[in-house]
Amino acid sequence: MKNQIYLREFENYLLANNRSKETTKSYTRTVSQFMGLIKKPPKDIIKEDIERYKYWANEIKHYDRNTLTPKYCAIKSFLEFLDIPNKEIKSFKLSPPRLEVKPKKPLTREEIQEMFEISKNNYRDNAILKTLYFTTIRNRELCNLNIEDIDFQRQKIRNISKGGHYDERNIHPDCLKAIGDYLALREHAKKGYENALFLNDHRERIGKTFLHMMIKKYATLAGIKKRVYPHLFRASSITHMAEAGATIPEIMAQSKHRSVDTLIKHYICPSEKHNKEVYLKTLSFNKKPERKSNSLEPEKPPQSQTGQTVQVPQNKEDKYIKLLRDGLINKEEFMKLITAHKKTDPNPLYG
């Protein structure tokens, strides 16, 4: 009974610290599991109890690193919540074994387009695929979308992010059209799911399992050999933005990443072909770099394709205007030249 009180207080502690409902639910479940294993009041926890849980999770349950990480984070948060005075507990390191993170292999633009093409007759699936790609949204965030989160007028999409606060992102017109086509034919939702944007075949809000299965189906139909999963769309669109020349701040404004390090290490994964093209382009000596000059030295008369000299205006005002238009001088320099010319030319065109 006392343990249940601790669990409720721990749940409130997590929510007060801006943990999402899903994270709070997961952490509370893990702590309940931990307390059921040690079978003692939380205030009496010692180092050996944590070692026992580690042994149970690693050697008996054989949890992999991806499973251990959130479980260890839950135990850490619980110990912080308890604020046990034991210094040995506070300094105890609880972390899963190191694992080399393999770089993601983003989908190519051609693979994305092929999945769009194959799904075009299924308005719901096509809208889901385009929402994942064009908004860089996470799969859980997509499942939780409501109809009112789509702003067709401003071309924006609003969602609750990992931290539990609202984010607003741009949404591509192609994606908005796909969502609009789907909503026009969307079935009536079951009671309690009226606001859900995407519904499954049971007219309920879609979930992660539905999303994984749907994406796997279209990846297979498109003949894609690599492993395709919802989060890969996020990495793919971010990589494509980077390859097209988007800067890190511009990408972060859309993806809502808080860490530059995470973005660069795990999400921007240009293809070998792109890397080679950039390498050859940036280190090539085949073409001499164009050099812009701010000097007002006389230019050689331009020639036409037949080799004949093209006549250009001879008055200085027109020449200065041409220099300004071509970006060879700025407005301040232009005004100084015009002012100086008016003092020497008895009949200036611009008075």
> Digits of tens for pLDDT over the chain (351 positions)?
567 888 889 899 898 888 888 889 999 999 999 888 988 888 888 888 888 888 898 888 888 877 888 888 888 888 888 877 665 555 566 666 565 556 678 999 999 999 999 999 999 999 999 999 999 999 999 999 999 999 999 999 998 877 667 889 999 999 999 999 999 999 999 999 999 999 999 999 999 999 999 999 999 999 999 999 999 999 999 999 999 999 999 999 999 888 888 888 888 888 888 888 888 888 877 665 555 544 444 445 545 444 544 444 456 666 767 777 776 777 777 777 777 766 665 544 444
pTM for the model:
0.59
In a domain, 313, yes or no: yes
User: Does 288 fall in a domain?
Assistant: no
**Nearest of 165, 167, 166, 168 to residue 18 by alpha carbon:** 165
Domain identity same for 266 and 312 = no
Q: Which structural domain range is residue 78 located in?
A: 2-90
349 in a structural domain: yes
Picking from 90, 118, 139, the residue at the C-terminal end of a domain is: 90
CATH code at position 183: 1.10.443.10
pLDDT of residue 294: 47
Q: Are residues 48 and 165 in the same domain?
A: no
Is residue 150 domain-shared with residue 186, that is, in the same domain? yes
Judgement on whether residues 182 and 140 belong to the same structural domain of the protein:
yes
Looking at 39, 61, 90, the residue that finishes a domain is 90
* 3-class secondary structure, 272: helix
Q: Is residue 279 part of a domain?
A: no
The reply to whether 269 and 121 lie within a common domain is yes
For residues 134 and 199, membership in a common domain is answered with yes
d(C-alpha 9, C-alpha 11), whole Å: 5
312 and 181: one domain? no
Say how far apart CA 168 and CA 158 lie, in whole Å.
4
Tell me, what's the pLDDT at 333?
Answer: 75
Total domains present in the chain: 3
**Residue 186 is assigned to a structural domain of this protein:** yes
**H or E, element range at 167:** strand 166-170
> What pLDDT, on the 0 to 100 scale, is given for residue 49?
87
Contact 84, 118 (CB under 8 A): no
Residue 81 CB neighbour total at 10 angstroms: 19
Q: Are 123 and 231 within one domain?
A: yes
Question: Does 128 share its domain with 226?
Answer: yes
Picking from 90, 123, 151, the residue at the C-terminal end of a domain is 90
pLDDT at residue 134, rounded to an integer: 96
Task: Examine residue 285 and state whether it is found in any structural domain, yes or no.
Answer: no
Looking at the structure, do residues 321 and 246 belong to the same domain, yes or no?
Answer: no
Per-residue pLDDT, 46: 82
Task: Check whether residue 325 and residue 266 sit in a common domain.
Answer: no
Residues 49 and 11 in one domain: yes
Please, which residues have CB within 8 angstroms of residue 79's CB and are 6 or more apart in sequence? 45, 89, 90
Give a yes or no: residue 99 inside a domain: no
Residue 97, in any domain of the structure: no
